[in-house]
């Protein structure tokens, strides 16, 4: 079933309310800094306790560059001098294969 954009599967629990499922989604979202689960499987262990198996949503990130001591995001608002500085600097990291 799909609840609030999360694909939820319930195993070995005959009856579970939508509010309980929403509480599990909120718990996982809070535990992971606001990142919601993509898939959630709710089941039980041998002791009858709830067990959650989940996969988090993919969160896009923006590349951050450090130019002359400043951390910056995209280069689209840079002036020509800053673009030249980025072009001329020594690149460190893994080489492409």
Q: Looking at the domain assignment, is residue 95 inside a domain?
A: no
**Cα four-point dihedral sign 23, 24, 27, 29:** negative
Do 45 and 28 lie in a common domain?
yes
Token readout for 47 is 């002791």
Do 49 and 70 lie in a common domain?
no
- Proportion of the chain above pLDDT 70, given as a percent: 86
Looking at residue 33, what is its pLDDT? 92
Q: Is residue 96's pLDDT more than 60?
A: no
Do 67 and 47 lie in a common domain?
no
Residue 52 near residue 20 (C-beta atoms within 8 A): no
Cα–Cα distance between 11 and 4 in angstroms, integer?
A: 19
The whole-number average pLDDT for the span 79-92 is 81
Q: What is the pLDDT confidence band of residue 71, given thresholds at 50, 70 and 90?
A: low
Task: Give tens-digit pLDDT for 15-60.
Answer: 999 999 999 999 999 999 999 999 999 999 999 899 999 999 988 8
Average pLDDT, the chain: 86
The total domain count for the chain is: 2
Q: Is residue 70's pLDDT more than 80?
A: no
Domain that holds residue 70: 60-90
Do 22 and 50 lie in a common domain?
yes
């Amino acid at each position: 079933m799909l609840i609030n954009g999360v694909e939820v599967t319930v195993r070995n629990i005959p009856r579970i309310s939508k509010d309980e499922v929403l509480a599990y989604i909120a718990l996982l979202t809070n535990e992971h800094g606001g990142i919601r689960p993509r898939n959630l499987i709710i089941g039980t262990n041998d002791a009858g306790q709830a067990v959650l198996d989940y996969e988090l949503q993919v969160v896009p990130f923006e590349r951050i560059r450090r130019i002359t001591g400043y951390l910056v995001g995209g280069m689209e608002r840079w002036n020509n001098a800053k673009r030249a500085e980025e072009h001329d600097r020594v690149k460190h990291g893994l080489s492409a294969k």
